[in-house]
Structure 1
Amino acid sequence: MADPRDLLPSEQPLQLLDPSGKPVDDPALPLPGTDRLLAAYTALVIGRRVNDQAGALVRQGRLAVYPSSHGQEACQVGAALALAEGDWLFPTYRDTVSAVARGVDPVQVLTLLKGDWHAGYDPYEHRVAPQATPLATQLLHAVGVAHAARLRGEDTVVMALCGDGATSEGDFHEALNFAAVFKTPVVFFVQNNEYAISVPLARQSAAPSLAHKGIGYGVNGERVDGNDTPAVLAVLDRAVAAARAGEGPQLVEAHTYRMQAHTNADDDTRYRSSEEVDPWVERDPLLRMEAFLRRKRVLTKARAAEIAEKAEAVAAAMREGVSRDTDPDPSELFAHVYAEPTPQLEEQAALLADELSREGN
């Protein structure tokens, strides 16, 4: 039997860059290659612009709600870039940037948050499951997909995203337990942003860290500085490789911070002070990565301008796409709920059609 202590995470979150962007020597982590880091930086810039533009669209009344991942973009980008083309990503409602980094059209991702048609995109096109609003339910779905892939002999890994609040849910326990028993190739990636809406981490868990919870299930746990993009990539690369190699599920906790309110409907000043938030501004993952790349003389002014222009093009497409009015078809409420419509759905669809026809008369 393996030594349970081998499942324990590092005492401190792993790091490759300090908050100022200077490299930190860590023999346990290889620094990703320059091309990959530039791709990650590009995704960070686009992700920050997506967050900012979505916030503006909310204020304009074009989106019903938006849970920003401002300050968590390193986690969002790392989760997407660590996966191979045939892998699956299971995001939460806060993981818009991760879905975009995976290749999904941001306008389609925001369709759900606009209150429009179903998930807004085809999950099979980029292997991105619908964004889950209920806490932790997507973890069970992720385990199911990974288990099915394993039974079919497919070389597939599933990245299951969740926040710290989700680790208090029963679904989190069930997902980890099943995944460990059946050695499903899942990476459970917890973005610990310190708050479950207004509930601080200290009121959620008494564990030394959320990654320590893995040992209770026989799952390997690891911790990483969630605002350090190279470290997030390196840790997730290793976790994905272990899951793909048949070593079973992996649990990774990224220590980050929710810089903005839970959503536009939340007043975060009621439960935290600006003095708490301010130090995290200095740990901004985007500025940290930019400082590192400039120090390496990889990010030139011309290249930075090119990346910014690309991000602006994404924002412009978002404004145009989200602001475009649609003529909804009420019958689509019943489409794609099940592969084969149930008798109850058919009955409800018929009732709605009858009511609409009476209004027309």
Structure 2
Amino acid sequence: MTRTLNPAADLATDTEDVARLLTPDGERVADPALDPFVADVTADELRGLYRDMVLVRRIDTEGVALQRQGQLGLWAPCQGQEATQVATARAMRADDFAFPSYREIGVGYVRGVTPADFVLSWRGEEHSTLSPYEINSAVPQIIIGAQTLHAVGYAMGVQRDGTDQVAVTYFGDGATSQGDVNEAMVFASSFGAPVVFVCTNNQYAISEPVSLQAKFPIAGRAPGFGIPSLRVDGNDALACLAAMRWALAHARTGGGPAFIEAVTYRMGPHTTSDDPTRYRDREEVERWRRRDPIARVEAHLRARGEFDDTLAAQVQRDADELGAAVRAACLGAVTRDPITVFDHVYAEPHRGIDEQRTAFAAYLEGFADAEEVAR
């Protein structure tokens, strides 16, 4: 599936020389390589992708609002990247295992993350709120690129177990400059591990444009490791679904790792502590807004007579209900006693942790004595 890259045209920021099935206006276009992988996709499944993306955007909107209101310490927005996240996650089997970064809200939603799971860690109530083995998804990784190593390790374990599961790891364009990502691809290629690398090229690594760290498309790096790759329109949900089906089939049938570069855009800040107006202009943002992934699927379905205002209203009601659940989970959170920070550090009793717990308990007791004196 690796395509020949034209060094004269394929700059890292190019958005035209990508695999695409839906234009920004929702027109269906042919792609001989991708078409077979979505030949069975029905209008109902497309409506499902639309609904998922709308709901994911609502979770994201609620998260930003909660942080601005002081209810969350931080939030990493994903607006504009819903197609990449939702469509690739929908292509996965239930027993495949995802290794996401901190921005993959859509992947988490598809895999079964609950409203509380989305907010309690960002609120500082829990180190982790989800059980990876209940939803086959690792805890979102904050360390840039580290999850790629975890995914390859899991995939190598799958090989030894003799099953046909696939590990999927998500990371941004900035992470490709990290040693971890490159080392993960070395191991994946060397051992033929069943892992899919999904690089979400959202144009910026915090404030650094992708053109600063990559003079040519990121997808062109993977073949250097012996990994086939595909550069796809990350705002085209149908193309993302097809690309992921190709990559999963390749990995699942013994072909080894595969790499997808999804070219998209981060409409909001890197996190809520960032001010993107300092490093990008309004015209650029508006240009990408016209490529909105949700509007694209809606336009396509309306042109086919498979979408109406009744459906749009129902999806909006579902989004409102989910947004309310996220907000309630955040505002209803009960902060645990500080001493519980030592809970679940080790699976078995540990003398060092017991000693630290005792010392910390004495420290906390000192505050209680001070409060008593003050009264």
Q: Normalising by structure 1, what TM-score?
A: 0.94
Change (3 A) 1:343 1:179: farther
CA positional deviation for 1:338: 3.5
Confirm whether residue 231 of structure 1 aligns to residue 239 of structure 2.
yes
Confirm whether residue 139 of structure 1 aligns to residue 139 of structure 2.
no
Which residue of structure 2 aligns with residue 89 of structure 1?
Answer: 98
For residues 48-82 of structure 1, the C-alpha deviation after alignment (integer angstroms, 9 at most, x for no partner) is 11111111111111111111110000011022201
Change (3 A) 1:144 1:14: same
For residues 113-159 of structure 1, the C-alpha deviation after alignment (integer angstroms, 9 at most, x for no partner) is 11221111111111111111110011111111111111111221111
User: Structure 2 regions of 5+ residues with no counterpart?
Assistant: 7-16, 370-375
Change (3 A) 1:24 1:320: same
Q: Distance in 2 between matches of 1:297 and 1:46?
A: 22
Which residue of structure 2 aligns with residue 28 of structure 1?
Answer: 33
Of stretches 128-137 and 324-333 in structure 1, the one that deviates more from structure 2 is: 324-333
CA positional deviation for 1:7: 4.4
Change (3 A) 1:337 1:246: farther
Work out which of the residue numbers 275, 280, 288 in structure 2 matches 1:280. 288
Aligned residue for 2:129, secondary structure, equals: coil
For residues 203-257 of structure 1, the C-alpha deviation after alignment (integer angstroms, 9 at most, x for no partner) is 1123x21111111111111110000000000100110111111111111000001
Q: Distance in 2 between matches of 1:16 and 1:168?
A: 29
CA positional deviation for 1:296: 1.2
Work out which of the residue numbers 5, 13, 21 in structure 1 matches 2:18. 13
Which residue of structure 1 aligns with residue 225 of structure 2?
Answer: 217
Confirm whether residue 180 of structure 1 aligns to residue 185 of structure 2.
no
Change (3 A) 1:79 1:344: farther
Q: What is the total number of aligned residue pairs between the two structures?
A: 355
Q: Distance in 2 between matches of 1:162 and 1:323?
A: 30
Q: Distance in 2 between matches of 1:214 and 1:351?
A: 50
Which residue of structure 2 aligns with residue 3 of structure 1?
Answer: none
RMSD: 1.6
**Contact 1:80 1:102 survives alignment (8 Å):** yes
Report the AA paired with residue 241 of structure 2: L
Aligned residue for 1:187, secondary structure, equals: strand
Q: Distance in 1 between matches of 2:346 and 2:337?
A: 18
CA positional deviation for 1:36: 2.1
Of stretches 166-175 and 36-45 in structure 1, the one that deviates more from structure 2 is: 36-45
Which residue of structure 2 aligns with residue 260 of structure 1?
Answer: 268
Report the AA paired with residue 51 of structure 1: D
Aligned residue for 1:61, secondary structure, equals: coil
**Contact 1:7 1:214 survives alignment (8 Å):** no
- 1:33-182 matches, within 5 Å, as 33-182=42-191
**Contact 1:112 1:119 survives alignment (8 Å):** yes
Change (3 A) 1:336 1:150: farther
Of stretches 25-34 and 98-107 in structure 1, the one that deviates more from structure 2 is: 25-34
Which residue of structure 2 aligns with residue 195 of structure 1?
Answer: 204
**Contact 1:9 1:223 survives alignment (8 Å):** no
Report the AA paired with residue 310 of structure 1: D
Aligned residue for 1:356, secondary structure, equals: helix
CA positional deviation for 1:9: 5.8
Q: Distance in 2 between matches of 1:295 and 1:34?
A: 12
CA positional deviation for 1:359: 3.4
Q: Distance in 1 between matches of 2:183 and 2:349?
A: 29
Report the AA paired with residue 337 of structure 1: V
Change (3 A) 1:267 1:18: same
Q: Distance in 2 between matches of 1:107 and 1:187?
A: 28
**Contact 2:53 2:83 survives alignment (8 Å):** yes
User: Structure 1 regions of 5+ residues with no counterpart?
Assistant: 1-5
Report the AA paired with residue 162 of structure 2: G
Report the AA paired with residue 315 of structure 1: G
Of stretches 98-107 and 8-17 in structure 1, the one that deviates more from structure 2 is: 8-17
**Contact 2:115 2:329 survives alignment (8 Å):** no
**Percent of counterpart pairs with the same letter?**
40
Q: Normalising by structure 2, what TM-score?
A: 0.91
For residues 282-303 of structure 1, the C-alpha deviation after alignment (integer angstroms, 9 at most, x for no partner) is 0000111111111111122222
Confirm whether residue 340 of structure 1 aligns to residue 348 of structure 2.
yes
CA positional deviation for 1:307: 1.5
**Contact 1:223 1:254 survives alignment (8 Å):** yes
CA positional deviation for 1:194: 0.6
